[in-house]
Structure 1
């Protein structure tokens, strides 16, 4: 009887661990922080393109948007985010056409031409920094420029990724939303 108890104990422990909810608490389904879009509707950004033409994020409705907001002076953290956005889009393979990359520039300073060429295809819009600061959710006192955000094809803010995102985990989140979504 003791031999049976010793042999069955790992099986019993695994059932208790799994069905007791311990494993589900440890494993998180998504990497990015989910955002309730009702709390953060897209404001009137009064955005302009780099050549001064009026535009808005509405122009990209129907596409998933990976969004970064910050000043035109692109430091190392900014460069890493722009690089990650480009690579994450490319990692989606045939689904990459469903994703647009958008950089909301929060000042009127010039952007380096080399930087624009390096991230060719990215949409760059100038916006009011006060509007962006009120709109994009952050944790504590950190600025919105520390995160990459994801908007769905209907224009709803959905996910916020951490400052230095793990590409494999972000890729997994993007794969899931693109697979589950029939739009965009």
Structure 2
């Protein structure tokens, strides 16, 4: 009887009840992880919803409401591979959409590279993407090896470019479509088109807007 009582007492000892007693601590850890990963997205959502521009007004134009972007189906990269479904995920994307890539296109790509390089420690959070119907872009890929170049026939590029058509954008009309307006678009890490920078905007202003977003939004 004494041995049985001792065994029962042993089963109720703190060591035996360890897993149950550690549950509140595990729950706190889980809650902390959820907050850590969800808070950046909530901050970005609040910026959109409240039209909040940290440290003053933005120079580019915020897209409201946000425009979710689907993967560019039917468009390939320079190796002829299909574009991955997560193209717009996990990183901020500076995007330029054009037909043939001529002088104005080359100038914008150079500008995008200069802005990207100036991001310093945040460079890895941003990717640059060119969507073009031009099939002679091998030299451009060699010049900018970290530039993601996607190409397709003109009709498919024009069709996908409609996702970048923004109501109220005076630079993109039926007479001057997205592929001709020299606008740089910014896509957030949740695959939303959220801001655009017209050709008239100074490079320093574009950089300032992107730098603010990277500083205040942990996503991406």
Superposed pair shares fold, TM > 0.5: yes
Q: Call closer, same or farther: CA 1:76–1:108 in 2, change over 3 Å.
A: closer
Q: 2:130 aligns with which of 103, 116, 125?
A: 103
Q: Does the 8 Å CA contact 2:111/2:203 hold for their aligned counterparts?
A: yes
Question: Matched residues in 2 for 1:150 and 1:32: separation?
Answer: 10
Unmatched segments (≥5 aa) in structure 1: 1-27
Q: 2:79 aligns with which of 32, 47, 51?
A: 51
Q: 1:142 aligns with which of 169, 176, 181?
A: 176
RMSD of aligned residue pairs (Cα, Å) = 1.9
SS across alignment from 1:54: coil
- Size of the aligned set, in residue pairs, is 153
1:1-184 mapped onto 2 (5 Å cutoff) = 29-38=57-66, 40-46=67-73, 47-56=75-84, 58-71=86-99, 73-105=100-132, 107=133, 109-111=135-137, 113-127=138-152, 128-137=156-165, 138-139=169-170, 140=173, 141-145=175-179, 146-184=182-220
SS across alignment from 2:68: coil
Q: How many angstroms does 1:110 deviate by? A: 2.4
Normalised by the size of structure 1, how large is the TM-score?
Answer: 0.75
Normalised by the size of structure 2, how large is the TM-score?
Answer: 0.64
Q: Call closer, same or farther: CA 1:56–1:143 in 2, change over 3 Å.
A: farther
Q: Does the 8 Å CA contact 2:91/2:189 hold for their aligned counterparts?
A: yes
SS across alignment from 2:64: coil
Cα offsets for 1:51-82 (capped at 9, x unmatched): 221114623411000001112x3211101110
Q: Does the 8 Å CA contact 1:43/1:131 hold for their aligned counterparts?
A: no
Question: Matched residues in 1 for 2:148 and 2:65: separation?
Answer: 22
Segments of 4+ in structure 1 off by > 3 A?
A: none
Question: Matched residues in 1 for 2:129 and 2:140: separation?
Answer: 14
Q: Does the 8 Å CA contact 2:131/2:157 hold for their aligned counterparts?
A: no
Cα offsets for 1:157-179 (capped at 9, x unmatched): 01110114311111110111001
Q: How many angstroms does 1:97 deviate by? A: 0.8
Q: How many angstroms does 1:183 deviate by? A: 1.0
Unmatched segments (≥5 aa) in structure 2: 1-55
